[in-house]
Structure 1
Amino acid sequence: MGSPSDEELMERFCDGAPDAFEALFARHAARVQGFLTRMVRDAPLAEDLLQTTFLSVIRARGRYDPGTRFVPWLMTIAANAARDSLRHQRHVDAHASDEGSAEPTSASPPSGDPSLRRHLLDALQQLPPDHREAVVLSKVEGWSFDEIAALRGISAGAARLRAHRGYERLRELLDGLEAEA
């Protein structure tokens, strides 16, 4: 017999098996952290949010319905943690003094042209969180619009529209960058 599915591990964890949680963490931590880093663009914050996400899994295990697909459930928790953090940061930034404006720290960019990666990450940060999430989930994580729709509780058409608007805005931002160069 092969290794247990995520859903089987989660059900075992709900039944009190801590090793099942450890297996889920080992299996998904890197993917979740990558997603969070792209969402908040701050590696130390993403690491904190990774811990928050898995702590939320522990706390929410009593509400996990057996048979629920684990990865979308986990990514919903991670996306909500990122969204809450971004909302909080906007609130803090709005009340910060003008002379001490907070500049987000950059996550280490993936390999390739560092300048292009930095510009892309900067442009991605300028998207509304819903559009950014749809772009990251569809293009980086490889999710279908149906999966994004299920994650957010919207229609597949709405998920597609969010991603499309995100792509269009990215194109505008990056075209503007070329014009400046």
Structure 2
Amino acid sequence: MDKNSGNNTDQAKIDEQELLQRYINGDKEAFQELVRIYKDPLYAFLRRFLNQQQLVEETFQETFLQLYRSRHSFEKGKPLRPWLFTIAANKARDALRKQQRHETVSIGTMSDSVDLSIDDVVNSLTAYEVTPYQEAEKTERAEKVREIIEEMPENLKEILILAYFEQFSYKQMADILSIPIGTVKSRLHTAIVYFTKKWKSSTSDENL
């Protein structure tokens, strides 16, 4: 293992903790730096979770506003990212509830065996392609993934995004969503089953 890499990681943690302490103390420059660090991943998360650009932008602003207002309740020594995404997930759910433009979908309990992992689908989107045909095919797959995720029930969509796109751990997802780890695991399984069924259905329709 590269010692310099380890040292850089440790230094980054120290630098962030220093920023967090300044942010807690009301230092606006520190807050602006935290916004700079986290704005891109947060914006990407909200774009996947919300289906309208206006909702994304409003929720993005509300999340950072809440982050600034709630700085005194932040627990020192903890990483900011899970806490920030907790705020964002709550704000996104509120935005969707207010929107009320789609019916709530209930898929009940699904315990079918899964023979296609969503990892296979997600990984295929970043695979190296060498021909125009393959590149077009990759673009079509990416669009299908986006469409399926956009149509998923809210609770399944958010856990799939947190797990596979944001790479949060079970514990972090449990904290963000305020649910037990066991519920995280079962809900993620249901989300994968749901996604897989929709994916297979979309690909089988093309082969008819």
TM-score (norm 1): 0.81
Is 2:47 the counterpart of 1:22?
A: no
Q: Deviations over 1:96-118 (max 9, x none)?
A: xxxxxxxxxxxxxx876232222
Q: What is the rounded CA distance, in whole Å, between the counterparts of 1:137 and 1:93 in structure 2?
A: 22
Cα pair 2:170 2:181 within 8 Å, conserved? yes
- Greater C-alpha Rg: 2
Q: What is the rounded CA distance, in whole Å, between the counterparts of 1:123 and 1:62 in structure 2?
A: 39
Residue number in structure 2 paired with 1:97: none
Is 2:38 the counterpart of 1:54?
A: no
Cα pair 2:156 2:188 within 8 Å, conserved? yes
Residue number in structure 2 paired with 1:150: 175
Which deviates further from its counterpart, 126-135 or 5-14? 5-14
Is 2:59 the counterpart of 1:34?
A: no
Residue number in structure 2 paired with 1:137: 162
Task: Give the AA of the match of 2:152.
Answer: L
Q: What is the rounded CA distance, in whole Å, between the counterparts of 2:169 and 2:35 in structure 1?
A: 24
Cα pair 1:132 1:163 within 8 Å, conserved? no
RMSD of aligned Cα (Å): 2.2
TM-superposed deviation, 1:93? 5.1
Is 2:12 the counterpart of 1:12?
A: no
Q: What is the rounded CA distance, in whole Å, between the counterparts of 1:93 and 1:163 in structure 2?
A: 22
Cα pair 1:56 1:77 within 8 Å, conserved? yes
Cα pair 2:89 2:177 within 8 Å, conserved? no
Cα pair 2:159 2:173 within 8 Å, conserved? yes
Task: Give the AA of the match of 1:69.
Answer: P
Residue number in structure 1 paired with 2:77: 67
Residue number in structure 1 paired with 2:131: none
Consecutive unaligned residues of structure 1, counting only runs of 5 or more, are: 95-109
What secondary structure does 1:143 align onto? Answer: coil
Q: Deviations over 1:108-160 (max 9, x none)?
A: xx876232222211111222222111111111111111211121222222111
Q: What is the rounded CA distance, in whole Å, between the counterparts of 1:174 and 1:93 in structure 2?
A: 21
Q: What pairs with 1:84-163 in structure 2 (closer than 5 Å)?
A: 84-90=94-100, 92=101, 113-163=138-188
TM-score (norm 2): 0.71
